[in-house]
Amino acid sequence: MSTAATGHLAGRHIVLGITGGIAAYKSAMLVRLFVKAGAEVQVIMTPNAREFISPVTMSTLSGKPVITEFFSANTGEWHSHVDLGLWADAFVVAPATACTIAKMANGVADNMLVTSYLSTRARVFVAPAMDLDMMAHPSTCRNLDTLRADGCIIIEAASGELASHLSGKGRMEEPEAIAAAVERYFAARCTMSGRKVLITAGPTYERIDPVRFIGNFSSGKMGYALANEAARRGAEVTLVSGPVHPFDTLPGVKVVRVESAREMLDAARRAFSDADVAIFAAAVADYRPERVLDRKAKREHPGEGLDSIKLVKNPDIAATLGACRRPGQTLVGFALETSDAMQNGAEKLVRKGLDAIVINSLQDQGAGFGTDTNKISIMYADGRPTLEFGLKSKADVAADILDNIPTPLPSR
Ligand code: CTP
């Protein structure tokens, strides 16, 4: 049996699909293993699976109601296969019968399990379980090949005595081996283990008086997506966040909330000396009022400060820290441009002492502030060719950025 890499299942979201085969009883143990390792498990059962193991057992072990149908019979509530598919960090089908394998291979979305499979972007693991002749049938072999080609990881069935009392290949692999395969997958993705990452995110607000400020439309979504993706890869993240609506963060992310550019610089400076990677995703206000009024300025009283506000320059956080970087650190900036995106990006890359700059243009539809998507290019200081990406979710853009910036060795 394979040995599990330890600790990599903690905090993961796992969808466990159970289909109608004798091996379904082993899925109870699989849920226990996942939950004991700290994962959250959502079980989906096909209608036939309920003949083999009770949904009560599975919901008790997973701590969540089991989903079988598109709608709850009790409340009429719709179970969103799209939300479930997107929630999953891993999608495991164990046991997978010949019928479900065939449906998955051909996109036959006639139940909640296959529909969620078609909606997921997570890695999919399939643990077949069936009689030896079904297992060896050219049709099953063809369907498994299709699933492999579609990116699924097939956890090969073992040989031994089968429910039919025949002996041969077709026994579902043991739950420990399935859990270990999923854990190894997460371990392999932990490419940032031991790295300290500093990320700035969101806007800054620069106070005019107790009720007014100068700010911008940044939502912080891109910076938070980067922080979560780095944490998923095993990094220890300090996220210095300007004022944004709170987003969920993963356990490896420490959020330091600040309001103004100067507060952001102080917090970023504290985390910077230790950081292996610093990503400046914040939309920092370039100027702040020279004077902050201690009482609310009145509209009817010109001269109190609202009719003309004298502004002074804020510190440039990326450039300040870029000027005192130590060898071995990777520094990445962002440039959100409305015109001449590439030229402006190239200039900022040099001026701020960065290794790479992520350029997005407000001229591209779906890119920039507040959207859930982004379209980026990554330009490098060392002269390697600029990379261009299509329109993607900010979570996928975060993965592209972390895949394509140098990950230095941990500094300690
Ligand atoms: N940045 C920063 N501190 C600032 C301004 C910008 O750290 N005071 C960082 C941003 O987080 C981003 C990069 O610098 O990584 C470029 O930000 P941008 O606002 O595009 O550039 P500016 O230098 O402010 O230039 P301009 O607004 O004139 O385009």
Answer yes or no: same fold for 3-188 and 196-403.
Answer: yes
Average pLDDT, the chain: 92
Q: How far apart are CA 150 and CA 156, in angstroms?
A: 16
The CATH class, in words, for 3-188 is alpha beta
Percent of the chain exceeding pLDDT 90 equals: 74
pLDDT in tens, 251-269: 899 999 999 999 999 999 9
Nearest partner of 153 among 183, 190, 173, 127, judged by Cα: 127
Q: How far apart are CA 157 and CA 172, in angstroms?
A: 5
pLDDT of residue 29: 98
Contact 125, 58 (CB under 8 A): no
CATH of domain 196-403: 3.40.50.10300
Average pLDDT over residues 235-252: 93
pLDDT of residue 7: 77
pLDDT of residue 102: 98
pLDDT in tens, 66-98: 998 887 777 777 777 788 888 999 999 999 999
Contact 184, 190 (CB under 8 A): no
Domain ranges of the chain: 3-188, 196-403
- 3-state SS, residue 260: coil
pLDDT of residue 174: 96
Band of pLDDT at residue 2, cut at 50, 70 and 90: very low
Whole-model pTM: value is: 0.74
* 360 a catalytic residue: no
Residue nearest to atom 17 of ligand 1 (CA): 335
What are the helix (H) ranges across 336-408? 341-351, 394-403
The CA 353 to ligand 1 mean position distance, Å, reads 12
Q: Which of 199, 222, 279, 284 to mutate to test the pocket of ligand 1 (most atoms within 8 A of CB)?
A: 284
Whether the per-residue pLDDT at 3 is higher than 50: the answer is no
Strands 387-388 and 373-374: unpaired
